[in-house]
Structure 1
Amino acid sequence: MIKVILLDLDDTLYNERDFVFSGFNEVAKYLNEKYSLEKNNLYKDILDIFQEKGRGKIFNILCEKYSLEEDIESLVDIYRNTVPNIKLYDDALYMLENLKDKYKLGLVTDGKNTVQWNKIKALDIEKYMDKIIVTDDLGRDCWKPSTKPFILMIEHFGGAPEEYIYIGDNPNKDFIGCKKLGMSTIRIIREAGDHMNTFLGEEYEAEFNIKSLLELENILKLLE
């Protein structure tokens, strides 16, 4: 019987692209104010580079295009430290509201710790969670697929791993560690997300796939 529900954050509880676009907008605003360049053009160029090249060198390419002598790390800091304009998915809000009194809830999320905490604050989800682990607070070697954050959750809540379920979206890392410990796993595959078209071997994939967190209650009944 499941007693503890652990959740991923990015693309599980909210659309991570909303965070990404908020950061892009702040960088465009900064460059607009500093160089009197058209903000909308800057923002469009950033999005075009993002679509064509991914996230890796966006600001390098942008600065090269406009011949800007900018410290790229400073732009990255602006991007990361943006107060994000993000909100919970409707099904995530419904699920959190309806399950918080029936189960213990925990959050396990990777990413730069200051960035992840900014997201957590912006989404106002601390009130739902009994325990939050931002893995970067523990050190880079504790990011998923490490078992460490899940071991800490078991130490906090108690009980057997079989009483836990973890919900995430990224088969490259989300389910490996918790499956090793014996936790149940659910992968949410939304209509949009970085990993929606990624399918790997059994070692990496979750036991259950869902398209909405509204399906969670049926799986919990199945595991009773």
Structure 2
Amino acid sequence: MIKAALFDLDGTLLNRDASVQVFIKDQYVRFYQWLHHIPADLYTSRFIELDQRGYVWKDSVYKQLIEEFSIRDLTWEELLNDYISQFKHSCVPFPHLHHMLDELQACGIQLGMITNGFGKFQMDNILALKIEPYFQEILISEWEGLKKPDPEIFKRAIKRLNVKPEECIFVGDHPEYDVYSAQKIGMKGIWKKDPHRTGVKHADAVIDNLSDLPRCLRSF
């Protein structure tokens, strides 16, 4: 019997691709005085390319943008600070997020989250999505001193929820960091389909949308 559901954040609950699109367009407008010589679409597309879906931290991204586009009188630190402080205003949830969490909560399922990233930045995004009250435990890699795919961060989460691995599911978009890593300690790994990734062969279940999850849990 499944007693707890653990989630990844970026690409699973937070539509990071859509959020980045919103953020970088707004940033261009905020800093138009210094960026007007760069076409808006080019600034947006190059940021997204350098960002590599969040796997490159933004100090490197902004340093590269400053150099490539010969941006004057504006530092990479200023752009980075803007990213850190303003990204939370651009957070886009995946459809049915709150309804799905309501359904699981109504069924008595404990909820937890494990996400890699910087503590305050990720928590700001969680608060922006208005989902923090749903979760009994939220583990963010910077604050835990561990990050996925280290099995210890998964073990820490289930210990805090006071459940056994076989009583838990983990839902995420990354085949290795989320699905396989959770399975290695005995949890069921559910892959939330990501159009950028293919070849997930060993997931216990696959969902297209968050609304599919309650039905999926009933099959275990």
Deviation at 1:125, TM superposition (A): 0.6
Q: Structure 1's 28 and 135: CA in aligned 2 closer, same or farther, altered over 3 A?
A: same
Once residues 153 and 52 of structure 1 are traced to their aligned partners in structure 2, the CA distance between those partners, rounded to angstroms, is 33
| Aligned position for 1:206 | 203
Equivalent of 1:132 in 130, 138, 144: 138
Q: What TM-score does the superposition give when structure 1 sets the normalisation length?
A: 0.82
Q: Compared with structure 1, are the counterparts of its residues 114 and 19 closer, same or farther at alpha carbon in structure 2 (3 Å cutoff)?
A: farther
Contact 1:168 1:186 in 2 (8 A): yes
**2:94 match:** 89
Q: Which segments of structure 1 move beyond 6 Å, counting only runs of 4 or more?
A: none
1:60 aligns with 2:59: no
| Aligned alpha-carbon RMSD (Å) | 2.5
Is this contact kept in 2: 1:26–1:79, CA < 8 A? no
What is the alpha-carbon distance in structure 1 between the residues aligned to residue 122 and residue 78 of structure 2?
Answer: 18
Residue correspondence of structure 1 range 1-224 to structure 2 within 5 A = 1-33=1-33, 35=34, 37-38=35-36, 43-50=40-47, 53-55=50-52, 58-64=61-67, 65-82=69-86, 83-102=88-107, 103-139=109-145, 142-189=146-193, 195-200=194-199, 205-223=202-220
Alignment coverage as a number of residue pairs: 211
Give, in whole Å, the separation in 1 of the partners of 2:126 and 2:180. 24
How has the CA–CA distance of structure 1 residues 200 and 146 changed in structure 2, closer, same or farther, with 3 Å as cutoff? farther
- Counterpart of 2:103, as a letter, is N
Q: Percent identity?
A: 27
CA-to-partner distance for each residue in 1:192-216, whole Å, 9 max, x for gaps?
xxx52323575xx522111112222
Change (3 A) 1:77 1:26: farther
Deviation at 1:133, TM superposition (A): 1.0
How far apart, CA to CA, are the structure 2 residues paired with 1:185 and 1:51?
29
Question: Comparing both structures, which one devotes a greater share of its residues to helix?
Answer: 2
Relative distance call for 1:127 and 1:151 in structure 2 (3 A) is: same
1:175–1:185 contact (8 Å) kept in structure 2: yes
How high is the TM-score relative to the length of structure 2? 0.83
Which deviates more from structure 2 when the two are superposed, residues 123-132 or residues 64-73? Answer: 64-73
CA contact (8 A) 2:169 2:188 kept: yes
Which segments of 5 or more consecutive residues in structure 1 lack a partner in the other structure?
Answer: 190-194
Q: Structure 1's 146 and 59: CA in aligned 2 closer, same or farther, altered over 3 A?
A: same
Question: SS where residue 169 of structure 2 aligns?
Answer: strand
Q: Distance in 2 between matches of 1:52 and 1:120?
A: 25
Separation in 2, partners of 1:119, 1:43: 25
* 8 Å Cα contact 2:114-2:140 kept in structure 1: yes
